[in-house]
């Protein structure tokens, strides 16, 4: 057992999160418009000390568990979801790596995180998502270590990070991938190393290619990472990727869910601010009124109540899931269903945030459709919730396949 963050300690952490959230809110519109990473956020995030939140206390961190980290991510997302989504990658990778690294690796890498370094991890490849095996090659070198070759998309937070983690498939000395499927699965491995690039995104065997141009989440700066002989020493090997990852992926799914819970809160906040003051002017209908307040209109009242209900249900689902996983209740689930069951919180919240962003625009009216309006931005950013793993379709397929699988015949 490790020492956890105390309530008093968390109160101080959350106060820092509230201040950083306000800063994200101030700068967010500029970087959404410019479609670039929010560079001023780097110093602010490091200065806040929040990067050390999930690092265990024995490595110099704060000892924040899933629930504590989820609450901080949600608070930051209330300020600006796109900027927070970038730093969310740091929390995800710290959570994943600390569950897979050796004690020596944890002391070194997590100690650096506790001192202020930022970690990120590009894993996806162009041809496939999370379920696809890595085509990126890790070629063994004489004298030890590997050189990595390939390309990774979705390099979120790459413009701020000091530490990189990634998966790649170990080849033979000539760079040939295993031909046997099982051998290839077993050869897919998890690595960690230094991430050092210059102002042009160029480093030793690694580079950033600025390809990010998406519907929303502009300020994340989610670029492409190119590996061209990037060297990883032997102590940069963490574990076999597939056998290790599925035991710690709650840090990915539940932190993504936290982003969209914070966005739900922002949608509700902005909707109330507008709809509590908006009037329709003189209205003619069943009755004539000189100046009708929309806060007195039935479908507006019901709509705000619906959004508040969705937010509250989402909060309960997310925070309860965090608690159950931390307390080990997930041991009661079939092993094959652990990740999709954890992912239900994210799919539930994703459905709700997209509904809320659309419904808010409908209630607020045409002004919400103008480019640069907060509702237009929230609508675009909410669409990203469909894509982080596992999405709703993947979750249902995993669950359905397992529940419909024929039982093994008894001898």
Q: Under a CB-based contact definition with an 8 Å cutoff, are residues 17 and 72 in contact?
A: yes
* 247 DSSP assignment: T
Q: What is the mean pLDDT of each run of 10 residues along the chain (411 residues)?
A: 89 98 98 98 98 98 98 98 98 97 98 98 78 89 97 96 98 96 95 97 98 97 97 98 86 97 98 92 58 87 97 98 96 90 95 98 96 97 92 87 74 42
* 290 DSSP assignment: S
Phi, psi (degrees; rounded to nearest 5) at 192: -140, 145
Phi, psi (degrees; rounded to nearest 5) at 166: -165, 165
Calculate ∠ Cα 348-351-352, nearest 5°: 85
- Of 231, 211, 233, the C-alpha closest to 222 is 211
Q: Does domain 7-117 have CATH number 3.30.559.10?
A: no
Domain 7-117 and domain 249-404, same fold? Reply is no
* 334 DSSP assignment: -
Tell me how far apart the alpha carbons of residues 221 and 198 are, in angstroms, rounded to a whole number.
16
Across the chain, which distance is largest between two alpha carbons, in Å?
87
* 54 DSSP assignment: T
Classified by CATH at the fold level, domain 249-404 comes out as: Butyryl-CoA Dehydrogenase, subunit A; domain 3 (1.20.140)
* 177 DSSP assignment: P
For every residue of 105-170, DSSP letters joined together read HIIIIIHHHHTT--EE----BTTB-TTSPP--EEEE-TTS-EEEEEEEEEETTTTT-SEEEEEEEE
Q: Residue 199 has which token pair? A: 């102002």
pLDDT at 409: 41
Q: Residue 55 has which token pair? A: 């690092």
Q: Which parts of 235-277 are beta strand (E)?
A: 237-240
Architecture of domain 120-240: Beta Barrel (2.40)
Tell me how far apart the alpha carbons of residues 159 and 310 are, in angstroms, rounded to a whole number.
35
Per the listing, tokens 């607020």 go with 364
Could you tell me whether strands 163-170 and 119-120 are parallel, antiparallel, or unpaired per DSSP bridges? parallel
pLDDT at 389: 81
Extents of the domains making up the chain: 7-117, 120-240, 249-404
């Amino acid at each position: 057992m490790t020492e956890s963050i105390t309530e008093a300690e968390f109160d101080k952490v959350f106060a820092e999160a509230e201040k950083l959230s306000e800063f994200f809110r101030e700068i967010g519109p500029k970087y959404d418009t410019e479609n670039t990473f929010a560079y001023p956020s780097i110093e602010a995030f490091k200065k806040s000390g929040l990067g050390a939140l999930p690092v265990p206390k024995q490595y110099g961190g704060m000892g924040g568990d899933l629930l504590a980290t989820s609450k901080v991510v949600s608070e930051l997302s209330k300020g600006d979801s796109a900027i927070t989504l970038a730093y969310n990658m740091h929390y995800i990778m710290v959570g994943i790596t600390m569950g897979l690294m050796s004690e020596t690796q944890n002391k070194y890498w997590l100690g650096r995180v506790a001192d202020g370094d930022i970690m990120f991890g590009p894993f996806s490849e162009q041809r496939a998502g999370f379920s696809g095996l890595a085509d990126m090659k890790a070629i063994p070198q004489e004298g030890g270590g590997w050189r990595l070759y390939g390309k990774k998309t979705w390099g979120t937070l790459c413009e701020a990070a000091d530490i990189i983690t990634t998966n790649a498939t170990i080849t033979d000395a000539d760079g040939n991938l295993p031909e046997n499927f099982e051998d290839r699965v077993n050869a897919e491995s998890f690595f960690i190393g230094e991430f050092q690039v210059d102002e042009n995104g160029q480093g030793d065997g690694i580079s950033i290619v600025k390809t990010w141009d998406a519907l929303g989440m502009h300020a994340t700066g989610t670029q492409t990472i190119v590996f061209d002989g990037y060297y990883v020493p032997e102590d940069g090997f963490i574990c076999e990727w597939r056998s290790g990852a599925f035991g710690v992926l709650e840090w990915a799914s539940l932190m993504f869910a936290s982003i969209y819970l914070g966005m739900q809160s922002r949608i509700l906040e902005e909707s109330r601010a507008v709809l509590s003051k908006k009037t329709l002017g003189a209205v003619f209908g069943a009755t004539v009124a000189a100046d009708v307040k929309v806060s007195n209109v039935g479908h507006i009242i019901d709509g705000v109540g619906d959004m508040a209900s969705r937010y509250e249900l989402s909060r309960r689902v997310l925070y309860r899931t965090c608690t159950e996983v931390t307390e080990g209740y997930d041991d009661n689930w079939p092993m094959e269903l652990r990740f999709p069951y954890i992912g239900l919180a994210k799919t539930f919240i994703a459905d709700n945030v997209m509904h809320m962003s659309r419904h808010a625009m409908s209630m607020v009216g045409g002004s919400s459709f103008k480019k640069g309006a907060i509702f237009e931005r929230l609508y675009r950013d909410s669409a990203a919730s469909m894509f982080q793993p596992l999405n709703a379709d993947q979750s249902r397929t995993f669950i359905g396949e397992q529940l419909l699988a024929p039982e093994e015949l008894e001898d």
